[in-house]
Amino acid sequence: MLNSSMDFFARICILSCLFSMISFQLINKIHASQNNAFNVQDYGAVGNGKSDDSTAFLKAWNETCSATTGTPTMIIPKGKTFLVHAIDFLGPCKSTTVYVQLSGTVKAPEDPSAWKDHDVAKWLGFEGIKGLNIVGFGQLDGSGQKWWDQSCRYRPGLKALVFRECKSVNMSNIFLVSSPKTHIHVMSSQYVYFKSLVIRSPETSPNTDGIHISDSDNVWVQASTFESGDDCVSIGESTTNIHVGYCNCGPGHGMSIGSLGRTNGKEVHVENITIKHIQFNQTTNGGRIKTWQTGTGQVRNVEFSNLQFTKVKNPLIIDQYYCDVANPCKATKTGVKISNVRYMKAFGTTTTPVAAINLECSENVPCTNITLEDVKLESAFPNTEVTSSCNNAFGYAKGIMEPKSCLK
């Protein structure tokens, strides 16, 4: 099982690399034939990793975004490291499609004091852009170490990359490392495609989610690898039609819907989520849905399928009692309604013998129409049984079912 699925993933990697190389060459040809490339070096970027290249980047972006002919492309050349402070690439642009060809390395300042006059919510922001392609085999380095070393109190929610109010974005073949917190946040955006990304931060780095998605519709995350100190992908509130597939996750906290419903009064609406063909390696969770007791609204039409687990703590988990604040979360008559969740083809090993399947649903609004189909979870340790545990979880199981289903 493990060997054949690894073989399968290796093949997908090879295919997607070949495809990327071909499209990369095509893009180069397009650029060579059109005189609308804006190289940051032509705007004063030095690329020695020390000089501040922020202004040059903004100038090159401004020209790219104002260009009206061909395929305007901002070029960040290979073989150089550009030090760039917190900046925003703002739209709307004049052309229907603009490119950022990221071939070199772009690095954030190492010292948090560089944010003194900047918004500590992000490093690089793309805002209000329609039709954006970020391509190129380059690297973004968030220089997170000094942020991780600070105590929690002084660690704001600094994200490496934020897409806000964007529409039609493609980002592929980018290596993104060491974000102070969440690596990529997609907010208030539609039609965003991520493909062949590698996101990497140490397992011990706090709150370094791979991709967080909120208030967005139609987002795809495909053929990507996540290694970090928090969720590989986390799906937040007001999200619809989100598709995550063919990804590797671990170390990290798994693929997560939530936490949802923290903000009192705001209705949760999460619908049409698919998380398929994921390899989880030594993560704390596999497929997870977590909601606050105090939330309202609903999560429906969720499919987790073709999941392969290696030494995962909680492979399949719903936690409707999530609470991580000092003042205890009050038990109220509310709850986020979870329905139509399918777990299909989930195999592999777990390190917690009790409750490899753990569906803890709200007593006020039980989970309904939960399906378990072809699930086989075994202990990573010899001679250890695994079990499932359900509370207020209704639905049915079919096909292979190990451990036995606890659905009512």
Ligand X SMILES: *[C@@H]1O[C@H](CO)[C@@H](O)[C@H](O)[C@H]1NC(C)=O
Q: Which residues bind ligand X (CB under 6 A)?
A: 59, 62-63, 66, 97, 131, 133, 168, 170, 193, 240-241, 271-272, 281-282, 301, 310, 340, 342, 369, 371
Taking the complex as a whole, the smallest distance from the CB of residue 368 to ligand X amounts, in Å, to: 8
Taking the complex as a whole, the smallest distance from the CB of residue 379 to ligand X amounts, in Å, to: 17
Residues paired with residue 280 on neighbouring β-strands, in sequence order: 249, 309
Compute the distance between CA of residue 23 and CA of residue 27 in angstroms, rounded to an integer.
6
State which residue, 222 or 294, has the beta carbon closest to ligand X. 222
- Identify the residue whose tokens are 């049409």: 272
Q: Is 217 one of the catalytic residues?
A: no
What is the dihedral angle through the alpha carbons of 129, 227, 212, 334, rounded to the nearest 10 degrees? 170
State which residue, 24 or 321, has the beta carbon closest to ligand X. 24
State which residue, 110 or 378, has the beta carbon closest to ligand X. 378
State which residue, 175 or 193, has the beta carbon closest to ligand X. 193
Taking the complex as a whole, the smallest distance from the CB of residue 259 to ligand X amounts, in Å, to: 21
Longest Cα pair distance anywhere in the chain, in angstroms?
67
Taking the complex as a whole, the smallest distance from the CB of residue 294 to ligand X amounts, in Å, to: 24
Taking the complex as a whole, the smallest distance from the CB of residue 123 to ligand X amounts, in Å, to: 20
Taking the complex as a whole, the smallest distance from the CB of residue 193 to ligand X amounts, in Å, to: 5
Active-site choice (230, 231, 277, 319)? 230
Compute the distance between CA of residue 134 and CA of residue 405 in angstroms, rounded to an integer.
44
State which residue, 146 or 243, has the beta carbon closest to ligand X. 243
State which residue, 158 or 174, has the beta carbon closest to ligand X. 174
Compute the distance between CA of residue 5 and CA of residue 159 in angstroms, rounded to an integer.
33
Interacting residues of 355 by C-beta distance below 8 A, sequence separation 6+: 314, 386, 387, 388, 389
Is residue 287 within 8 A of residue 307, CB to CB? The reply is yes
Active-site choice (53, 253, 277, 319)? 253
State which residue, 190 or 240, has the beta carbon closest to ligand X. 240
Joined tokens for residue 402: 């190990």
Rg of the chain over all Cα atoms, to the nearest angstrom: 22
Taking the complex as a whole, the smallest distance from the CB of residue 148 to ligand X amounts, in Å, to: 19
Q: Is 253 one of the catalytic residues?
A: yes
Taking the complex as a whole, the smallest distance from the CB of residue 101 to ligand X amounts, in Å, to: 13
State which residue, 301 or 387, has the beta carbon closest to ligand X. 301
- Residues known to be catalytic: 230, 253
